[in-house]
Amino acid sequence: MLELSYIRENTAEVIERLSVKNIDAAKTLEKIIELDARRRETQRELDDSLAESNNIAREVGNLMKAGKASDALELKNRVSELKVIAKDLSEKLDSIVTEQTGLLITLPNVPHSSVPKGKSAEDNEIVHSEGTMPNLPSDAVPHWELASKYDIIDFELGNKVTGAGFPFYKGKGARLQRALINFFLDNAIEAGYYEIQPPLVVNEASGYGTGQLPDKDGQMYFCQIDKLYLIPTAEVPVTNIYRDEIVKASSFPIKNVAYSNCFRREAGSYGKDVRGLNRLHQFDKVEIVQIQHPDHSYQTLEEMREYVSTLLRKLELPFRVLRLCGGDMSFTSALTYDFEVYSAAQQKWLEVSSVSNFESFQANRMKLRFKDENGKTRFCHTLNGSALALPRIVASLLENNQTAEGIRIPKALATYTGFDLLF
RNA sequence: GGAGAGAUGGCCGAGUGGUCGAAGGCGCACGCCUGGAAAGUGUGUAUACGCCAAAAGCGUAUCAUGGGUUCGAAUCCCAUUCUCUCCGCCA
């Protein structure tokens, strides 16, 4: 959620920057500012009337003590009147605040000045490319064929037991999963991240805090009877640790890493995008989350970007980094780098990581604050990134490393799998 | 799931209708003391909103959450959530 004071003081800039996300916010902003004026006026009237009630109540108390009960009677009536007025004002204030908040949460985060304009993925800016493209034999096949050839991932079995998008990993496939999780966690810990194992379901307030709710609730699995959501990413529970907190500035940067299953309904996806491991309803991901001082968050974003690059280098996968254009960015992000790995057999780039700075957008929703050098309470900046999501890494590892003898496992990973050739 | 007890500031803990945002202690911050530290000692130490250009200051709200009773609620009543104890079930 955008900060009200920021909207109020930089209206034109907000409109201009949101246009990069192809949003025309002028009318909404105007309404929000108008509601804000009414909110403050109503608040003042309400406070005044409550102040008068409090004063009279105190007087009544004094009169009672002095044994002048009859004198108190008239005052009592006045308080009763004020109470009715205050109740009206309070209801009015509630409805104004509700309306204002309702509008505020429809506004996406303002993109960083470096974000290019654009409508779709076509307009993303490639900022970096690295690694050598594999030279595959002519009989190279996509990962879903390799998965069944080596009997390591069973999509049909998943269909039978659960449904589409919930595969079974078997034998060396399961071990490869476990190896990748440990590889990613160990690397993160070495880079100074603190490991967290979060709950896989969260309450409504947490979904709201990181921005999944209310706009994306159809994308999460929901347990109706307990009003709990299956997490779409560890970002949700791990960032919400700090909901309603005032952290010490000396604790910056706060660096957490968490492995979790991620659950996504992916309503509306279809076709070859969901083939094999490309898009699953349940997958594994190691997520890095940082809480940082506003002055340092972009430097941190670059560090996180570099960290993810080192992982892909160790896995010997060719990758490129994209700066997402306004139209392709998420609702909550101010700047996002996507990492894509080349899937040789599918001959396409697969998104394996998304590293974002949310600035104070999530922090404002969550009321995550810190005290700055002047003792002033301010919102923190939050950042996160996948480091990494497993399925598409597995897809490209299988495809890019296929040989006549089997799948070659990169050296850095082989110490975790316990085998360097999957056959 | 059943029965009972409870929820107060960063933490512990007092407070059963009236200047209570809340005693006391711990912690924390700053100062004094010290060669330095500890001990000692002094001061300060919640959050949000509103008024104000801003600071100071003032007002309002907040004692789990939401309602209610009352001139007045941390205190009484109702609902919800959570915690603990016992019983049941159980990885």
- Residue A212: what are its φ and ψ, rounded to 5°? -70, -35
DSSP class of residue A109 equals: P
Per-residue model confidence (pLDDT) at position A204 = 86
Query: CB of residue A261 closer than 7 A to nucleic acid strand B?
Result: no
Say if residue A71's pLDDT is above 80: no
Nucleotides of B under 7 A from a protein CB: 18-19, 47-51, 59-61, 70-72
Say if residue A161's pLDDT is above 70: yes
Query: CB of residue A40 closer than 7 A to nucleic acid strand B?
Result: yes
Q: Which one, of A370, A364, A378, lies nearest residue A249 by Cα?
A: A370
CA–C1' span, A9 to B53, in Å? 14
pTM: 0.91
Report pLDDT digits (tens) over A278-326.
999 999 999 999 999 999 999 999 999 999 999 999 999 999 999 999 9
Query: CB of residue A56 closer than 7 A to nucleic acid strand B?
Result: yes
Per-residue model confidence (pLDDT) at position A271 = 67
The order of strands in the sheet holding A222-223 is A201-202, A228-230, A222-223
Q: CA A262, A267, A269: angle at the middle one, nearest 5?
A: 95
Question: Which nucleotide shows the minimum CA-to-C1' distance to residue A60?
Answer: B71
Lookup: tokens for A50: 């409550």
Residues 76-95 of A with CB under 7 A from strand B: 76, 79-80, 83
Cα A384 from Cα A234, distance rounded (Å):
10
Q: Are A219 and A264 in contact (CB under 8 A)?
A: yes
Say if residue A210's pLDDT is above 80: yes
Q: How confident is the model at residue A272 (pLDDT cuts 50, 70, 90)?
A: low
Q: How confident is the model at residue A5 (pLDDT cuts 50, 70, 90)?
A: confident
Say if residue A215's pLDDT is above 90: no
Question: Which nucleotide shows the minimum CA-to-C1' distance to residue A61?
Answer: B18
Per-residue model confidence (pLDDT) at position A359 = 95
Per-residue model confidence (pLDDT) at position A266 = 84
Query: CB of residue A68 closer than 7 A to nucleic acid strand B?
Result: no
Number of Cβ atoms within 10 Å of the Cβ of A47: 12
- Residue A320: what are its φ and ψ, rounded to 5°? -135, 155
Predicted-complex ipTM score: 0.86
